[in-house]
């Protein structure tokens, strides 16, 4: 019993230190602008909710809900695309043998190494030629085509950790590679897939650069993009509203993470090994 | 045999698909149809939500008055805007009308990206605009950007604090020594916690005003640097002297200044005065600073003010635009139309068109009104804008600030720093 | 009789001669890979080759690139002191932030890997900083909280590193998933053998977790080399003060977009690729000594 209490105490103490900046952010969203920039105090001297009111008034005639919806569409599309395509590719790299495997795997890892800024213009040109600018396609299509080598690699590592006996058992039962994938490997890779889903959602949500470059009309803007519009340095900056909007941006992805991370709890079912 | 055929076939298929996609879809038109029918143009600008709101209203009015033109708009904050603009232009997706910055107009014009606004389909009526401003958008005799607004340099200070500490308020004809003395008083009376002035040594813009007071300029007409290391050294001696005596902000604070309000020592209440542009005084200025500020012109030792009418920004039309006439109509509207001017107000600064200026001036209150009054008083003393700076000017400005950081952190002597800066600046302009 | 038997036996012995157990039909592998292949060719390979080509040109973004051969590379190594600074800054950053981040992630993952109803809450709470990610608001908060350190050339880099380490939630979640995948029987067996916590950790947890540790190590290292947004926002885009936070990618961005020298920036990008590839190759090579794949055991 005491160990448990101690454990909780340690966790909470660590959290307190770690989340101090987050706490500061939330409290700043209730502060007036000049106080945000000049005072280091955690709690507001005057609590105002005007910042949130300003956010909900929307910008240039577009409501916050529209931005939220846009972000949802992009992120959910990305999750589905990524989980499916990366799982397929990872299975091939991890469990199947084919002649170009080593080379393609190395190439895949290499694709992570180039900084995005130099790929930006050629990729923009390609999407421009395909008439996809100002749509969500440039944001979702790469996910459908498994260009996120990070996740392919992640799932590969998980799949390689699964015992081969399972595959042998499946083969003896008459399963070919496809059915082995569907009935054996895929279910056992759930932690990896859930991780992929969670991270894809969050990273596509926060992917400022792609959203900036490919989305033009404010009606198509995503939430993080709209958020950055608050902080123009050459004209007036609504710091208070920016803090409020940051907090608001956190809420959907925070909820999403909290809801789905429970799926990570179900690990490898040990019955699979004996069955 | 089958094993080799599959990867090869797949590769061929993929390459074929790639070529097919890029070939078939290329060459499609981007902006609307040609001839007859409604026309669609794109208008991009930088700014914040307040500016966006009034701009959208003005655009609605434009669409009412021009039933066959539709305008698609997009905006971002300053840095993101230019990154996006560069990417779009390089990738073939440039907007028709774009907001352009004085600093970059030459870079873009020299590379053939902007259309000539003085002739042809993209001609815009500039007769009502303050003529001194137009030189700011003219490169090699052609007009590439028209400023919708003008602004000029300004000195702003917390007069309540100055009064309290016995510092002499700025007045007509005050000198740099006056400034130093006043700032010193403020610093001393607060025990150094609030400095008299935010260190101005690293900002090329103020160096330029000081140069012009002596009859010199930053760049000569052919685009070369028109000052010497000795000038730089003298300037830095003066400003660094203020830092050493405590009148100006310490190095740690100065190094953080990046033009944003978040890092401005005056906003943070760590300094009581600073230099800036009067277009920066928008409705929320006093609220963000937490107090009221007063405006004054630059101090000068030579009797010459050195300030000029600076284009805060410009509207340009992209050379690649397929709807130049429609684009020109929009620019015309934004700059010259009285109703548009009333809607846009001071969101981009003080209007450059005289008639619009009259109409707007009467409706202002608060910080923008103070800015407007300042413009009125200092306006007659302003010189015409110098021509747009040459390619690499942005780098020179960044280098100026970076090398000054070395000075205030005492990593180098002033003379050495000045020499180092000059050589780097020369390289930036010529490569 | 015997000849018949032998001729009948022959076809059956063909099967063991095949080396592969899976992928008897390699076409299947390519079927699984087809989305990835299309994506790679269409969206990745093309731009990669384009940027390689650009690195040998002088390209100012708006006019057609002009060929300059090795000029960009030559200038980088012989005539650009800020380039060297950028390399040093980035290396320091990688060596400071990556080990710390991974250590924190692993430690907290192990701490949290305990059956408890509060686990979901803790997991989300520790991950919250990563959710904020590279947002401008959090960087502003960081700048205000660390205002004294951010302005000092000696500590500014540490502030950016701290921001990175603070976001250890992402690798932590991956570690947690990996910990979940360790079969309980191994722990049971270890307990039956009378092994204490540390012993179990060394002989069960660490080896079984090694593929995931390896993954996190490689990817966090690569990400650290490419760090951009944190430094960009905290230093105000300039890499200051006095270039102490001039990250490699920050300098690349400045050269490419602010100074309109995309050819030069592309050369920088490819040098970075080579450096990262080298480091990654070393990591992969040395991984054979310490990474253990349970699935490979049967071979």
CA separation for the pair B402, B411 (Å, rounded): 12
Contact list, B83 vs chain A (CB under 8 Å): 212-213
Q: What is the DSSP letter of B278?
A: G
Optimal mutation site among B100, B256, B288, B399, interface C, most CBs of chain C within 10 A: B256
B256 touching A (Cβ < 8 Å): no
Residue B13 in domain: no
Does residue B11 have a pLDDT over 50? Answer: no
B291 and B426 share one domain: yes
Residue B384 in domain: no
Query: Do B411 and C242 count as a contact with CB atoms less than 8 A apart?
Result: yes
Share of chain B above pLDDT 70, in %: 91
Q: Which of B349-363, C60-74, C279-293 has the lowest mean pLDDT?
A: B349-363
Query: Do A19 and C129 count as a contact with CB atoms less than 8 A apart?
Result: yes
Contact list, B18 vs chain C (CB under 8 Å): 41-42, 46
Does residue B12 have a pLDDT over 50? Answer: no
Query: Do C241 and B255 count as a contact with CB atoms less than 8 A apart?
Result: yes
Q: Label the pairing between strands B314-317 and B97-100.
A: antiparallel
CATH architecture of A64-231: Orthogonal Bundle (1.10)
Among A60, A99, A217, beta carbon nearest to B49: A60
Residues 25-44 of B with CB under 8 A from A: 25-26, 28, 42, 44
Residues 81-140 of C with CB under 8 A from A: 108, 111-112, 114, 116, 118-138, 140
Contact C188, C122 (CB under 8 A): no
Optimal mutation site among C38, C47, C60, C213, interface A, most CBs of chain A within 10 A: C47
b or e along A127-153 (b: 16 or more beta carbons within 10 Å of the residue's beta carbon)?
bbbbebbbbbbbbbbbbbbbbbbbbbb
Q: Which of A41-55, B81-95, C27-41 has the lowest mean pLDDT?
A: A41-55
Which pLDDT score is estimated for B317? 95
The tally of domains found in chain C comes to: 1
Among C62, C242, C260, beta carbon nearest to B405: C242
Which pLDDT score is estimated for A3? 84
Between chain A and chain C, the number of residue pairs with CB atoms below 8 A apart is 297
Which residue does chain C place closest to A193, by CA atoms? C177
Query: Do C62 and B113 count as a contact with CB atoms less than 8 A apart?
Result: yes
Q: C20: pLDDT confidence band, cut at 50, 70 and 90?
A: very low
Residue C49 in domain: no
Q: What is the mean pLDDT of chain B?
A: 85
Q: What is the tens place of the pLDDT at every residue in C142-177?
A: 877 887 788 788 888 999 999 999 999 989 988 988
Among A15, A126, A181, beta carbon nearest to C46: A126
Q: C12: pLDDT confidence band, cut at 50, 70 and 90?
A: very low
Residue C48 in domain: no
B285 touching A (Cβ < 8 Å): yes
Contact list, C297 vs chain A (CB under 8 Å): 163-164
Which residue does chain C place closest to A162, by CA atoms? C295
Q: What does the pLDDT average to over B383-397?
A: 85
Q: Name the strand (E) or helix (H) holding A250.
A: helix A239-260
Local confidence pLDDT in tens for the 275 residues of chain A: 788 889 899 999 999 999 888 888 888 888 887 777 666 677 777 777 887 877 776 665 677 788 889 999 999 999 999 999 999 999 999 988 888 889 999 999 888 888 888 788 899 999 998 989 999 999 999 999 988 888 999 899 888 888 888 888 888 888 888 888 888 888 888 888 988 998 899 889 888 888 988 998 888 998 888 776 665 555 555 677 777 877 877 787 788 878 877 665 443 332 222 22
Q: What is the tens place of the pLDDT at every residue in B153-175?
A: 999 999 999 999 998 889 888 99
B303 and B318 share one domain: no
| DSSP collapsed to 3 states, B65-134 | HCCCEEEEEEEECHHHHHHHHHHHHHHCCCCCEEEECCCCHHHHHHCCCECCCCCHHHCCCCCCECHHHH
Tokens matching residue C18: 């095949």
Q: What does the pLDDT average to over C218-228?
A: 92
B129 and B171 share one domain: no
Optimal mutation site among C41, C43, C212, interface A, most CBs of chain A within 10 A: C43
List, as own/partner pairs, every contact residues A38-46 make where C-beta atoms lie below 8 angstroms and the sequence separation is at least 24, other chains included.
A38/B267, A38/B268, A38/B269, A38/B290, A40/C144, A40/C145, A40/C147
Between chain B and chain C, the number of residue pairs with CB atoms below 8 A apart is 87
Residue C40 in domain: no
Which pLDDT score is estimated for C4? 43
Residue B30 in domain: no
Which pLDDT score is estimated for B150? 83
Contact list, A89 vs chain B (CB under 8 Å): none
Contact list, C262 vs chain B (CB under 8 Å): 90
Which residue does chain A place closest to B368, by CA atoms? A236
Contact B279, B348 (CB under 8 A): yes
Residue A154, classed as helix, strand or coil, is helix
Q: Name the strand (E) or helix (H) holding B420.
A: helix B414-430
B294 and B399 share one domain: yes
Contact list, B408 vs chain C (CB under 8 Å): none
Query: Do A22 and C129 count as a contact with CB atoms less than 8 A apart?
Result: yes
Per-residue CA distances from C267 to A115, C253, C281 (Å)? 11, 12, 21
Q: What does the pLDDT average to over B278-286?
A: 75
Subunits next to A (3 or more Cβ pairs <8 Å) are B, C
Of B356 and C118, which is predicted with more confidence?
B356
Residues pairing with A62 in the sheet: A59
- Domain, as residue range, for C226: 87-259
B141 and B159 share one domain: no
Query: Do B409 and C260 count as a contact with CB atoms less than 8 A apart?
Result: no
Q: Which of B75-84, B91-100, B382-391, C136-145 has the lowest mean pLDDT?
A: C136-145
B69 and B100 share one domain: yes
Residue B3 in domain: no
Rg of chain A (C-alpha set): 23
Does residue B330 have a pLDDT over 70? Answer: yes
Q: Which of A255-269, B283-297, B302-316, B396-410 has the lowest mean pLDDT?
A: A255-269
The tally of domains found in chain B comes to: 2
Query: Do C23 and A178 count as a contact with CB atoms less than 8 A apart?
Result: no
Contact list, B7 vs chain C (CB under 8 Å): 26, 30
Q: Label the pairing between strands B273-277 and B153-157.
A: antiparallel
Residue C11 in domain: no
Which pLDDT score is estimated for C57? 95
Among B72, B77, B87, beta carbon nearest to A228: B77
Query: Do A37 and B262 count as a contact with CB atoms less than 8 A apart?
Result: yes
Which pLDDT score is estimated for C14? 44
Residues 80-119 of B with CB under 8 A from A: 80, 83-84, 87-88, 90-93
Domain harbouring B83, CATH code = 3.40.190.10
Query: Do C144 and A40 count as a contact with CB atoms less than 8 A apart?
Result: yes
Q: What does the pLDDT average to over B72-95?
A: 88
Q: Label the pairing between strands C66-67 and B149-151.
A: unpaired
- Domain, as residue range, for B297: 153-307+392-430
Contact list, A268 vs chain C (CB under 8 Å): 180-181, 183
Query: Do B52 and A33 count as a contact with CB atoms less than 8 A apart?
Result: no
Residue C254 in domain: yes
Q: What is the DSSP letter of A275?
A: -
Does residue C284 have a pLDDT over 80? Answer: yes
CA separation for the pair B274, B271 (Å, rounded): 8
B342 and B372 share one domain: yes
Does residue B30 have a pLDDT over 50? Answer: no
Q: What is the DSSP letter of A268?
A: -
Contact list, C34 vs chain B (CB under 8 Å): 10
Which residue does chain A place closest to C228, by CA atoms? A115
Residue B122 in domain: yes
| DSSP collapsed to 3 states, chain C | CHHHHHHHHHHHCHHHHCCCCCCCCHHHHHHHHHHHHHHHHHHHHHHHHHHHHHCCEECCCCCCCEECCCHHHHHHHHCCHHHHHHHHHHHHHHHHHHHHHHHHHHHHHHHHCCCCCCHHHHHHHHHHHHHHCCCHHHHHHHHHHCHHHHCCCCCHHHHHHHHHHHCCHHHHHHHHHHHHCCCHHHHHHHHHCCCCHHHHHHHHHHHHHHHHHHHHHHHHHHHHHCCCHHHHHHCCCCCCCCCCCCCHHHHHHHHHHHCCCHHHHHHHHHHHHHHHHHHHHHHHHHHHHHCCCHHHCCC
pTM more than 0.90:
no
Query: Do B290 and A34 count as a contact with CB atoms less than 8 A apart?
Result: yes
Q: What does the pLDDT average to over B376-395?
A: 84
Q: What is the mean pLDDT of chain C?
A: 84
Domain harbouring C103, CATH code = 1.10.3720.10
Of B407 and C293, which is predicted with more confidence?
B407
Q: What is the DSSP letter of A183?
A: I
Q: Which of B25-39, B42-56, B72-86, C160-174 has the lowest mean pLDDT?
A: B25-39
B235 and B105 share one domain: no
Contact C156, C93 (CB under 8 A): no
Q: Is the dihedral of CA B249, B255, B259, B261 positive or negative?
A: negative
Q: Name the strand (E) or helix (H) holding B315.
A: strand B314-317
Residues in contact with B27: Cβ distance below 8 Å, sequence separation at least 6, in sequence order: none
A34 touching B (Cβ < 8 Å): yes
B96 and B59 share one domain: yes
């Amino acid at each position: 019993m005491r160990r448990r209490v101690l454990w909780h105490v340690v966790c909470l103490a660590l959290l307190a230190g770690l989340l101090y900046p987050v706490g500061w952010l939330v409290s700043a969203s209730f502060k007036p602008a000049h106080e945000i920039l000049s005072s280091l105090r955690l709690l507001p001297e005057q609590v105002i909710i005007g910042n949130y009111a300003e956010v909900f008034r929307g910008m240039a005639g577009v409501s916050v809900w529209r931005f939220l919806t846009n972000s949802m569409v992009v992120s959910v599309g990305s999750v589905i695309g990524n989980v499916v395509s990366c799982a397929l590719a990872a299975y091939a790299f991890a469990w199947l043998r084919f002649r170009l495997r080593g080379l393609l795997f190395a190439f895949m890892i290499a694709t992570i190494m180039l900084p995005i800024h130099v790929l930006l213009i050629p990729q923009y040109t390609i999407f421009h030629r395909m008439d996809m600018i100002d749509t969500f396609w440039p944001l979702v299509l790469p996910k459908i085509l498994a260009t996120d080598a990070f996740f392919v690699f992640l799932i590969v590592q998980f799949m390689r950790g699964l015992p081969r006996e399972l595959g042998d058992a499946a083969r003896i039962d008459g399963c070919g590679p496809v059915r082995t994938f569907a009935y054996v490997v895929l279910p056992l890779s759930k932690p990896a897939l859930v991780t992929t889903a969670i991270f894809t959602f969050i990273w596509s949500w926060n992917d400022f650069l792609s959203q900036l470059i490919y989305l033009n009309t404010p009606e198509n803007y995503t939430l993080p993009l709209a958020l950055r519009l608050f902080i123009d340095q050459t004209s007036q900056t609504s710091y208070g509203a920016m803090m409020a909007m940051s907090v608001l941006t956190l809420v959907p992805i925070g909820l999403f993470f909290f809801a789905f991370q429970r799926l990570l709890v179900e690990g490898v079912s040990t019955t699979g090994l004996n069955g | 045999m089958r094993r080799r055929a599959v990867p090869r076939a797949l590769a061929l298929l993929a390459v074929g698909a790639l070529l097919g996609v890029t070939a078939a879809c290329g060459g499609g038109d981007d902006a609307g149809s040609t001839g007859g029918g409604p026309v669609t143009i794109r208008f991009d600008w930088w700014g914040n939500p307040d500016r966006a709101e009034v701009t959208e209203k003005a655009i609605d009015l434009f669409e009412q008055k021009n039933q066959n033109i539709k305008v698609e708009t997009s905006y971002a904050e300053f840095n993101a805007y230019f990154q996006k603009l560069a990417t779009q232009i390089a990738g073939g997706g440039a907007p028709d009308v774009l907001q352009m910055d004085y600093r970059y107009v030459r870079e873009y014009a020299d590379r053939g990206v902007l259309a000539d606004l003085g002739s042809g389909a993209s001609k815009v009526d500039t007769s009502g605009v303050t003529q001194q401003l137009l030189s700011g958008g003219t490169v090699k005799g052609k007009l590439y950007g028209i400023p919708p607004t003008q602004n000029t340099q300004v000195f702003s200070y917390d007069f309540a604090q100055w009064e309290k500490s016995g510092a002499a308020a700025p007045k007509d004809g005050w000198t740099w020594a006056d400034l130093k003395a006043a700032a010193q008083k403020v610093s001393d009376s607060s025990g150094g916690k609030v400095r008299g002035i935010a260190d101005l040594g690293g900002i090329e813009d103020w160096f330029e005003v000081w140069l012009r007071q002596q009859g010199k300029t930053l760049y000569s007409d052919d685009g070369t640097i028109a000052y010497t290391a000795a000038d730089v050294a003298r300037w830095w001696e003066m400003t660094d002297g203020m830092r050493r005596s405590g009148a100006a902000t310490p190095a740690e604070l100065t190094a953080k200044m990046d033009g944003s309000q978040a890092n401005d020592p005056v906003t943070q209440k760590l300094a009581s005065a600073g230099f800036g542009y009067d277009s920066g005084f928008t409705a929320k200025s006093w609220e963000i600073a937490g107090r009221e500020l007063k405006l004054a012109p630059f101090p000068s030792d030579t009797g010459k003010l050195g300030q000029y009418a600076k284009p805060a920004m410009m509207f340009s039309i992209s050379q690649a635009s397929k709807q130049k006439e429609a684009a020109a109509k929009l620019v015309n509207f934004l700059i010259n139309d009285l109703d548009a001017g009333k809607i846009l107000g001071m969101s981009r600064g003080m209007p450059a068109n005289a008639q619009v200026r009259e109409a707007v001036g009467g409706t202002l209150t608060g910080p923008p009104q103070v800015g407007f009054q300042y413009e009125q008083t200092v306006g007659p003393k302003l010189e015409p804008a110098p021509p747009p700076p040459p390619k690499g000017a942005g780098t020179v400005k960044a280098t100026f600030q970076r090398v000054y950081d070395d000075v205030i952190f005492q990593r180098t002597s002033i003379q050495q720093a000045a020499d180092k800066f000059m050589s780097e600046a020369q390289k930036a302009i010529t490569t | 009789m015997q000849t018949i038997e032998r001729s009948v036996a022959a076809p059956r012995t063909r099967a063991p001669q095949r080396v592969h157990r899976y992928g008897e039909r390699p076409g299947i592998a390519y079927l699984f890979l087809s989305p990835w292949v299309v994506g790679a060719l269409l969206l990745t390979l093309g731009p990669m080759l384009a940027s390689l080509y650009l690195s040998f040109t002088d390209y100012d973004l708006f006019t057609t690139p002009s060929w300059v051969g090795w000029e960009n590379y030559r200038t980088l190594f012989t005539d650009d002191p800020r380039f060297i600074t950028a390399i040093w800054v980035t290396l320091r950053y990688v060596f400071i932030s990556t080990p710390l981040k991974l250590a924190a992630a692993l430690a907290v993952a192990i701490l949290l890997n305990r059956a408890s109803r509060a686990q979901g809450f803790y997991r989300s709470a520790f991950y919250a900083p990563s959710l904020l990610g590279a947002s401008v608001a959090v960087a502003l908060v960081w700048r205000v909280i660390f205002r004294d350190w951010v302005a000092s050339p000696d500590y500014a880099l540490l502030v950016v590193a701290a921001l990175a380490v603070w976001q250890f939630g992402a690798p932590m979640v991956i570690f947690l998933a990996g910990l979940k995948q360790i079969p309980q029987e191994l722990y049971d067996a270890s307990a039956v053998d009378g092994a204490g916590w540390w012993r179990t950790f060394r002989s069960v947890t660490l080896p079984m977790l090694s593929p995931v540790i390896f993954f996190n190590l490689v990817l966090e290292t690569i990400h650290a080399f490419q760090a951009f947004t944190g430094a960009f926002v905290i230093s105000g885009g300039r890499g200051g003060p006095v270039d102490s936070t001039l990250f490699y990618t920050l300098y690349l961005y400045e050269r490419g977009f602010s100074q309109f020298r995309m050819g030069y920036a592309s050369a920088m990008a490819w040098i970075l690729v080579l450096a990262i590839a080298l480091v990654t190759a070393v990591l992969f090579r040395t991984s054979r000594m310490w990474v253990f794949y349970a699935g490979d055991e049967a071979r």
